[in-house]
Structure 1
Amino acid sequence: MRTLLKNIFLAEDDTDDVFFFKLALEDISNDCKLTVFPNGQELINRLQETNDAPDILFLDINMPGLNGLETLGLVRELSVFESFPVVICSTSSNEASIRKAKENGAGRYMIKPSDFNKLHDMIERMLTFDWKSHCTLKESEEFVIGG
């Protein structure tokens, strides 16, 4: 059985998306701790001042203030988070956004589904993914999840 990442940070401004993320997470495991940030700046502030680093970050691409791609760039500038698992989340499959996410160091680009069961499966997949071997993945490995 794969290890489940349990300390999760989510930067998401849409309350419905947060609700469904929480619901899926509760179904995946009661042991997970979710901390939600309404924008990228609050997430960056927390990462700069905390000793309680998360296991994984989920960043919505469209947020007020710092968007997900800008936030990702700032996360990667923090040396402790330069190879940390980050998943960019978006309803869009725009090739330019996907390319920027990959160039800025995202581990995966998750296209948010409208179906709850698909969302559940995608989140579970990201929480059980072997991120330690991620750096050895070949270029052909799947970067975009969903769509």
Structure 2
Amino acid sequence: MDKTGVIIIIEDDPDDQFVLEEVFKELGYSNKRIYFADGLSALDYLYRTTERPFIIISDINLPKLNGLELRKKVQTDAALSLRCIPYIYFTTAINQRVVIDAYSTSAQGFFVKPGAFEEIKETIRIMIEYWKKCAAPNNFDG
């Protein structure tokens, strides 16, 4: 986890991508943001990039490779796992089974997308501030 690193957002709804980008602009986070519409393209990026991402914010219901499947791949791949990238679910899909499945993948958080812009903004602010304060095994110098 690199606290200044890229924020990976996996969201297949263009309207939600737009809202999230507006939220990040209003909050003033300088981290570069990269959006993916499906889990497979996000996984491909993670395999190819030399960047050290800060966080992954993922929907659950995604085409090609859903959020739960993507998280399992990130978690079980030795090289990706060592990068210690926090994986947060941010989704409208909410029922007990989905939450249990999400936490069974060792997700570091599960947030339900609120409907109002200000609530989304506050939820994202809490997420990012929490992880900016967290220590990770790979964010120490020397």
Q: TM-score range by the shorter chain?
A: 0.7 to 0.9
Match of 2:22 in 1: 23
CA distance in structure 1 between the partners assigned to 2:46 and 2:107 by the alignment: 17
CA RMSD in angstroms comes to: 1.6
Are 2:76 and 1:73 aligned? no
| Corresponding letter in the other structure for 1:7 | V
Report the Cα offset of residue 79 of structure 1. 2.4
Aligned-partner Cα distance in 1 for 2:22–2:86: 22
Q: In terms of mean alpha carbon deviation, does 119-128 or 80-89 score higher? A: 80-89
What's the counterpart of residue 57 of structure 1? Answer: 56
Q: Distance in 1 between matches of 2:104 and 2:134?
A: 18
- What is the Cα deviation at residue 78 of structure 1? 2.5
Counterpart in 2 of 1:116? 117
CA-to-partner distance for each residue in 1:49-93, whole Å, 9 max, x for gaps? 111121000111011110110111111123244342111121132
Q: Distance in 1 between matches of 2:134 and 2:109?
A: 10
Q: Equivalent residue of 2:56, what SS?
A: strand
Structure 1 window deviating more from structure 2 (106-115 vs 123-132): it is: 123-132
Cα 1:30–1:55 change in 2 (3 A) is closer
CA distance in 1, matches of 2:129, 2:5: 10
Normalized against structure 2, the TM-score is what? Answer: 0.84
Query: Corresponding residue for 2:126?
Result: 125
Cα distance change, pair 30–131 in 1 and its aligned pair in 2 (3 A): closer
Gaps of 5+ in 2: 137-142
Counterpart of 1:88 in 2: which secondary structure? strand
TM-score norm. by structure 1 comes to: 0.82
Q: What displacement does 1:30 show?
A: 4.9
Aligned to 1:8: 7
Say if 1:88 and 1:109, in contact at 8 Å, map to a contact too.
yes
Q: Where does residue 139 of structure 2 map in the other structure?
A: none
Closer, same or farther: CA 42–112 of 1 in aligned 2, 3 Å: same
Gaps of 5+ in 1: 134-147
Looking at structure 2, the residues matched to 33 and 39 of structure 1 have their Cα atoms a distance apart, in angstroms, of 19
How far 1:48 moved relative to its partner? 0.6
CA contact (8 A) 2:7 2:55 kept: yes
The alignment covers a number of residue pairs equal to 130
